[in-house]
């Protein structure tokens, strides 16, 4: 149990567990994308930490871009309404795209993003999510690379937030009630 700004956080996955799994995912992506024109698309803000660490673990030339979408606001549950707040800058035409997500729960945000990315005519699109809440799935999305399957709890840390706080935790934790 840790405390941050007076709030109690129960550690679910340690910093070391996350580092080890990100390195494994990086090796797998390196192997799968040898000789291909890879671009990582990160979902802001949550996936920024994971995407940077994953990119460092991939031993290939690659490009990176970001999209920002909103579906949570300051709540602990997805509203189900997804809106783009920052679109892509790079051309995806003919490129192999790896969408990098921090967490997938309902899949609604990801499904919406995949429709937008598909309209950019990439060669291929795969998904890499560090955390996956399979139980919550409402949209049919296939995750190609999964870091951890986690329980159906609201989590913070390693890029994930509650009302923009707790992203800086180096581990994944459950924010406990006061």
Contacts 24+ apart (CB under 8 A), 172-177: 172/11, 172/12, 172/13, 172/18, 172/131, 172/148, 173/2, 173/9, 173/10, 173/11, 173/12, 174/9, 174/10, 174/12, 175/7, 175/8, 175/9, 176/1, 176/7, 176/8, 176/9, 176/10
The residue from 53, 102, 105, 132 that is catalytic is: 105
Is 105 marked active-site? yes
CB-CB contact of 153 with 135 (8 Å): no
User: Phi and psi dihedrals of 56, rounded to 5?
Assistant: -65, -25
Distance, CA of 42 to CA of 69 (rounded, Å)? 11
Active-site amino acid positions:
105
């Amino acid at each position: 149990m840790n405390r941050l700004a007076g709030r109690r956080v129960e550690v679910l996955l340690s910093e070391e567990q996350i580092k080890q799994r990100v390195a494994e995912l990086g090796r797998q992506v390196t192997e799968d994308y040898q000789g291909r024109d890879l671009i990582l698309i990160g979902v802001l803000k949550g996936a920024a930490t994971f995407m940077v660490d994953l990119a460092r673990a991939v031993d290939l030339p690659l490009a990176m871009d970001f999209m920002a979408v909103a579906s949570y606001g300051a709540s602990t549950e997805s509203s189900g309404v997804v809106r783009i707040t920052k679109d892509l800058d790079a051309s995806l035409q003919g490129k192999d795209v790896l969408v990098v997500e921090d967490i997938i729960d309902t899949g609604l945000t990801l499904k919406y993003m995949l429709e937008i990315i598909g309209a950019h005519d990439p060669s291929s699109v795969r998904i890499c999510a560090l955390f996956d809440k399979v139980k919550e799935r409402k949209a049919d999305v296939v995750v190609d690379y999964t870091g951890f399957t986690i329980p159906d709890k609201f989590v913070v840390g390693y890029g994930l937030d509650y009302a923009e706080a707790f992203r800086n935790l180096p581990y994944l934790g459950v924010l406990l009630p006061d």
